[in-house]
Amino acid sequence: MLEYMLMPFRRYADFSGRSRRMEYWCFTLLNGIVFTLFGIAAMVMGFSLAALTNIEAGTAPSFALGGGLMVLMGLAGLYLLFILVPGIAVTVRRLHDREMSGWWYLGFTVLGMIPVVGWIASIAFLVIMFLPGTPGYNRFGEDPKDLGGAEVFA
């Protein structure tokens, strides 16, 4: 499973080919775990929504957003920038596995910004990510599940 979590980093900016559901969802799980750890560390350092509302009101103590918390937020931002390209690439390859163009990702992203329509588009995109890929060869390449190739038994 760890291999699938790290595979998008090895194929950093590879937008061609296909990716299995396992690769996509393991990468998503890895990022969820990392950002959960960032959130836990931020809460341990004293970050809370109450501190933010006190800052807006001007009544918060000066240590509410201390230097350590700023460093942590900076690290989280750098990690977000680091996973941006492989995240887009693995999503495009996942769409390729469904025999859909990568431009669908842009369409779903734009539709996701429209109120009400965005909810429907986001649910549809989630369903597409859960569906299995097309079996065998498609216009984007070989089936990543079929390691031996379907031609062996033809």
Distance CA 124, CA 4 (A): 24
SS3 content of the chain, % helix, strand, coil (to 5): 65, 0, 35
Which residues of the chain register pLDDT less than 70? Answer: 48-66, 147-154
Among 78, 127, 137, 83, CA closest to 104: 127
Predicted local confidence at residue 67, as pLDDT: 73
Task: Quote the domain boundaries for residue 93.
Answer: 2-153
**pLDDT value, residue 28:** 96
pLDDT for the residue 103 = 95
Q: What is the pLDDT of residue 17?
A: 92
- The string of pLDDT tens digits covering residues 32-74 is 999 999 999 988 887 766 666 666 666 655 555 667 788 888 9
Say what the pTM is.
0.83
Q: Which two tokens stand for residue 74?
A: 């900076």
Give the chain's domain count. 1
